[in-house]
Structure 1
Amino acid sequence: MSKCGQEKRKKVLEFQNVTFSYKDKQQTESTPILQRVNTAIYEREFITIIGASGSGKSTLFRLITGLENPDEGHILLNGEAEEHRLGKVGYMPQQDLLLPWRTIQENAALPIELKRVRKEEAYKRVLPLLEEFGLEGMENRFPHELSGGMRQRVSFLRATLSGSNILLLDEPFSALDAITRLSMQEWLMEQWEKQKTTVVFITHDVNEALFLSDRIFVFGEKPIRTLQEVDVPLGRPRSLKDLNQPSLIELKDQLLEQLRGKVMG
């Protein structure tokens, strides 16, 4: 998204001078992760985070979801500083975490039930969405009866039913085979365009990041003081073939070299 485009959209997620350190069990030593970080993400953006293992990507998600709180600074959701963020953003983990004893309809309805809506009403709300998510006729099946891609669709549907306009997706396709993964990337983009939500996505796959994103945040050495941002020079709609453009191939090579340097360093 261009700077001009950002100015016309409202901020839905903002870090203001956020500092965070992990402390050991004795609370005597700490490992700094973020140091006075400032960044903003805008409505209907698709942001991808890439970085070496242990660079702080998952920590960022833990802070956004409220599983951790900053040592200093503020995290704003939709313009409001939120100290208690648990349950206020949608979250889709790396593993689908579907409950094996519940049907697909019952699994998808779980966020609605947690809002104390009657089960019958929750199931009624979910049923028409199953067709939209490519799950028509699957409502009475159990998770073990579905393919990995189908299970991830259920997990994504469940995340959207949190009611939040912010969705966090933590490497959701990493366990899928290559062909299914490509299909799910295209499906996710279609759903994101329909849902009109803001997505923050973690991946180790640079191709995936380039295909899906408006901007890419590159995590480097800790503590992180500034998030390096890379604008993806692709309009929308886009296709996987667009990644063959010389400018995208060059950008991919730059990102891979940068990530390789972080690992080797």
Structure 2
Amino acid sequence: MSKASLQFENVSFSYENGHEEKEILNTLSFDVQNGEFVSIIGPSGSGKSTIFKLITGLNQPANGEIFINETNYSNRLGKVGYMPQQDLLMPWRTIIENAALPLEIQGMKKREAYDKVRELLVEFGLNGVEHKYPSELSGGMKQRISFLRTVLSGSNVLLLDEPFSSLDAITRLSMQEWLLTQWQKLKLSILFITHDVDEALFLSDRIFVFTESPVRKFVEVNVPLERPREIRDIHTPAVIEVKEQLIEQLRMGSTQ
């Protein structure tokens, strides 16, 4: 039986808004299993990014428990890998220096860190760019480096917050295909935020649809696709039916 890489158990969270509190999550529970790819979709302000902040330890729940690989850490900082919308590569550091940053933070010596990065650059199809600067790379290449840096956090749990939203359509599709290849090779557990229904269907095992505020529960959709899969597979009748259901759920949520 598969174990959970990530669990929320009755988690509640509120932001202070002046003299009032705005409740974002109310006794929310869910899990992500080992090696599973789960996407969250929902309107802006529905609590998606709040969940990431809670998982990374930037925020703490008012109530409930968060488990990473079945452990409830008092300090979750550094326990998961996080990839934001923007690549956040440091423009004054070369690619190898950027990619090695999480290893240096962990205390690894520079030479050892650079050797490890070089090995992965080859695996990630990025060999030959280690001495370039971010400004010399395309958007897709920079996101590959950002993903590599996230992997080097050492965690099997990765949080990806709309990482391809700024890319053009062709590059975005290429990156989606590349991400699936890396995910399957590395056997990672991924929680992925997106506003793109097609992207969620193509990438995910399950999709969580956030429509209510505060979030107490959500609609959970199993993607009816086997793996490996190709982008054309999302145009099959079964997936089109699920897509229509997802869009209807989002429309209902936006009118509440």
1:159 alignment partner, one of 132, 146, 150: 150
Question: What does 1:243-258 correspond to in 2, within 5 Å?
Answer: 243-258=234-249
* Counterpart AA for 1:231: N
Partner of 2:99 in structure 1? 108
Quote how far apart the aligned CAs of 1:46 are.
Answer: 0.1
Quote how far apart the aligned CAs of 1:149 are.
Answer: 0.1
- Which secondary structure does the structure 2 equivalent of 1:94 belong to? coil
Quote how far apart the aligned CAs of 1:172 are.
Answer: 0.2
- Pair 1:223 & 2:214 matched: yes
Partner of 1:191 in structure 2? 182
> C-alpha distance in 1, partners of 2:74/2:246?
34
1:43 alignment partner, one of 34, 50, 53: 34
- Which secondary structure does the structure 2 equivalent of 1:80 belong to? coil
TM-score (normalizing by structure 2) = 0.98
- Which secondary structure does the structure 2 equivalent of 1:44 belong to? coil
Partner of 1:136 in structure 2? 127
Q: Are the aligned partners of 1:66 and 1:85 in contact in 2 as well (CA < 8 Å)?
A: yes
Runs (4+) off by over 4 Å: none
> C-alpha distance in 2, partners of 1:14/1:258?
24
Q: Are the aligned partners of 1:51 and 1:219 in contact in 2 as well (CA < 8 Å)?
A: yes
Partner of 2:193 in structure 1? 202
> C-alpha distance in 2, partners of 1:125/1:134?
15
Partner of 1:3 in structure 2? none
Q: Are the aligned partners of 1:39 and 1:227 in contact in 2 as well (CA < 8 Å)?
A: no
Deviates more, 1:252-261 or 1:139-148: 252-261
Deviates more, 1:245-254 or 1:167-176: 245-254
> C-alpha distance in 1, partners of 2:30/2:159?
16
Q: Are the aligned partners of 1:14 and 1:77 in contact in 2 as well (CA < 8 Å)?
A: yes
CA deviation string 1:67-111 (max 9, x = no partner): 100000110111111121011100000000000011111100000
- Which secondary structure does the structure 2 equivalent of 1:20 belong to? strand
Q: Name the count of aligned residue pairs.
A: 256
Structure 1: stretches of 5+ with no match in the other structure: 1-7
Quote how far apart the aligned CAs of 1:30 are.
Answer: 0.4
- Which secondary structure does the structure 1 equivalent of 2:32 belong to? strand
Partner of 1:148 in structure 2? 139
1:175 alignment partner, one of 155, 166, 169: 166
Structure 2: stretches of 5+ with no match in the other structure: none
Question: What does 1:17-56 correspond to in 2, within 5 Å?
Answer: 17-25=10-18, 28-56=19-47
> C-alpha distance in 1, partners of 2:142/2:95?
9
- Pair 1:13 & 2:13 matched: no
- Which secondary structure does the structure 2 equivalent of 1:12 belong to? strand
* Counterpart AA for 1:86: L
> C-alpha distance in 2, partners of 1:34/1:157?
31
> C-alpha distance in 2, partners of 1:202/1:81?
23
* Counterpart AA for 1:14: Q
- Which secondary structure does the structure 2 equivalent of 1:81 belong to? coil
CA deviation string 1:154-205 (max 9, x = no partner): 0000000000010000000000000000000000000000110100000000
- Which secondary structure does the structure 2 equivalent of 1:9 belong to? coil
CA deviation string 1:40-83 (max 9, x = no partner): 11100000000011111000100011010000011011111112
